Amino acid sequence: MVVAIRTPIWISCLIIGLIFKNMNMKYIVFVFFASLFYACSSGCEDCEVSVILDPTEIKNATDTDVLVSFVGYDSISIKIEKKTSLFFKDTAYSALIPRCDCGLFLDGCNSKPIDVYLKFLSDIPQCIAFNGEILDESKDIRSIKSFEKIGEYSYVGAIMYYYRFSIDSSIVKMAMPCD
């Protein structure tokens, strides 16, 4: 018997249990896992794999601590110490910093980007404001195009790509004295 691919697992278990109720338990377990393997490995012509781009990390590659302020519906400021990183994934920051496939946006890619402010905590503080429209996607922290791909994770029906923004010397050169 072949269990339908789109049948929930618990129904498959019930059907297998009813059909093979007098058989050896090892055989039932074997049939269950064989059916599960078949269901998971068989081709699905009408299935599409979702691709998810996830801005996951901001790396401070400078020799100066940086205060990063995110302003969206709420505001949050986070200090990233020199030569360390801020991770969004699976942290308290994950829910506080709005992000989507195209970068740091309030309500998806068709909405406006959040405002991000970088303050380099050196002897003479330097600042950069990423606010308003995105002018240069390759340098604006709010655009996924300024992030580099650092990894991927595949699971049933989706591939997730993880991205990192690096605060490096090219970003420091954009900074001006703070007001």
Flag whether 130 is in a domain: yes
Q: What does residue 16 show for φ and ψ, rounded to 5 degrees? A: -60, -40
> Are 90 and 21 in the same domain?
no
pLDDT in tens, 91-130: 777 777 888 889 999 888 899 999 999 999 999 999 999 9
Percent of the chain with pLDDT over 90: 45
How many domains is the chain partitioned into structurally?
2
Same domain, 84 and 20: no
Average pLDDT over residues 151-155: 87
pLDDT attached to residue 165: 94
pLDDT at residue 14 greater than cutoff 50: yes
Residue 82 lies in a domain: yes
pLDDT at res. 41:
55
166 with 116, same domain?
yes
Residue 2 lies in a domain: no
pTM: predicted TM-score of the whole model, two decimal places: 0.70
Q: Which residues form the domain of 99?
A: 50-177
Q: Is 1 contained in some domain?
A: no
Does one domain contain both 130 and 86? yes
